[in-house]
Structure 1
Amino acid sequence: MEVKVKRIARKDAYTIGKMYVNGEYVCDTLEDKDRGLTSNMSVAQICGVKIKGETAIPTGRYLVDMKTVSPRFGGRAQYQFCKGRLPRLCNTPGYQGVLIHCGNTAKDTEGCILVGENKERGKVLNSKATFNRLYLRLAIADKRGEQIWITIE
């Protein structure tokens, strides 16, 4: 399965994107500020630019793990349906524990990707319902043994 996040609005405090699954638009995304990081940069270069909790992950292509329980979110009620196993991006240089999850503003991201509907400036709405729909698609692919890749551009 191929997931793509196309960043379309780079603002001072947040980044809005469009998410596609196998070429089909599925939702909007919200990330921290895009500071021009790429996966081709060294970890030292990335860490020299990155502001912890305020910087979007580097552009690039990452494998998505669907089997790891999130230590931070695993016990929260909205994630009990998936037993706390949130989609986790693997090998994001200079970052650890990058997830796709629910949230509404850049304060909820801390480097992760929030999903929802960008119907209000600087926010995504209906995040829980959007996450649930996206998770189902990813979980079905994972159960079939498909690798899930995400490209951030």
Structure 2
Amino acid sequence: MLYLRLERKVRNQTATISQLYVNGKFECFVLEDRDRDLLKEMTPAVIAGIKVYGRTAIPAGQYKIIVNRSTRFKRDLPLLLEVPGFSGIRIHSGNSSADTEGCLLPGSWDGKGADWISNSRKAFDPLFQKIQKALAAKERVIIDVLQKYAVTDAEAIAYQAMLDPGKQLDFTEIA
């Protein structure tokens, strides 16, 4: 089995930054839409009442991953199965929350803001190869999405402000 563990660490009003581990080893950072504290165990009605289409991270929980053809991207990509309240959740390259619509975007993170990730293709390719290799060997591939925030939202804002004191930050609607 190939086991992916996504630990959400920093969020702001538009995006979430996580650390992705593959079989216990750090692989890369991941950018998602804003985490609105959804859980896989919530009812579809509760999820629908909280979710903002195209701007909400998937519920925390465990999901099986397959690889199949994406009609949007016109290529094979990893797909998370049975994500309540969401469809077509993939792992693919991208740089900001504008690129995600709930999907997981692997890359590098400089720690300066929760809405930008770089080197996404460079991070995606080796991850995708590991997933393809496991599936070709008839192994199961699963991902655990966990809320593991190291600091409160207010502490994350203060930290980001220290890293880039000249930047105007507006995080008035975090909670």
Instruction: Provide the TM-score with structure 2 as the length reference.
Output: 0.80
- 1:146: which partner in 2? 139
- 1:38: which partner in 2? 39
**Structure 1 residues 116-131: aligned runs within 5 Å:** 116-119=107-110, 120-121=112-113, 122-131=115-124
Structure 1, residues 71-107: CA drift from partner, whole Å, max 9, x if none? 1011xxxxxxxxx110000000000000000000010
Distance 2:20 2:116 in 1: 15
- 1:97: which partner in 2? 88
One-letter code aligned to 1:4: R
One-letter code aligned to 2:55: E
One-letter code aligned to 1:128: R
Distance 2:13 2:52 in 1: 13
Offset at residue 10 of structure 1 (A): 1.7
Structure 1, residues 7-42: CA drift from partner, whole Å, max 9, x if none? 000211100000000000000000000001000001
Q: Describe the SS at the equivalent of 2:4.
A: strand
One-letter code aligned to 2:82: N
Distance 2:35 2:94 in 1: 18
Distance 2:80 2:123 in 1: 18
**Structure 1 residues 1-153: aligned runs within 5 Å:** 1-66=2-67, 68-74=68-74, 84-119=75-110, 120-121=112-113, 122-153=115-146
* Root-mean-square deviation (Å): 0.7
Percentage of pairs with the same residue = 38
Q: Describe the SS at the equivalent of 1:100.
A: coil
Distance 2:78 2:51 in 1: 22
Q: Describe the SS at the equivalent of 2:48.
A: helix
Q: Extract unaligned runs of 5+ from structure 2.
A: 147-175
Aligned length: 143
One-letter code aligned to 1:37: L
Q: Describe the SS at the equivalent of 2:133.
A: helix
Q: Describe the SS at the equivalent of 2:134.
A: helix
Instruction: Name segments (4+ residues, structure 1) moved above 3 Å.
Output: none
Instruction: Provide the TM-score with structure 1 as the length reference.
Output: 0.92
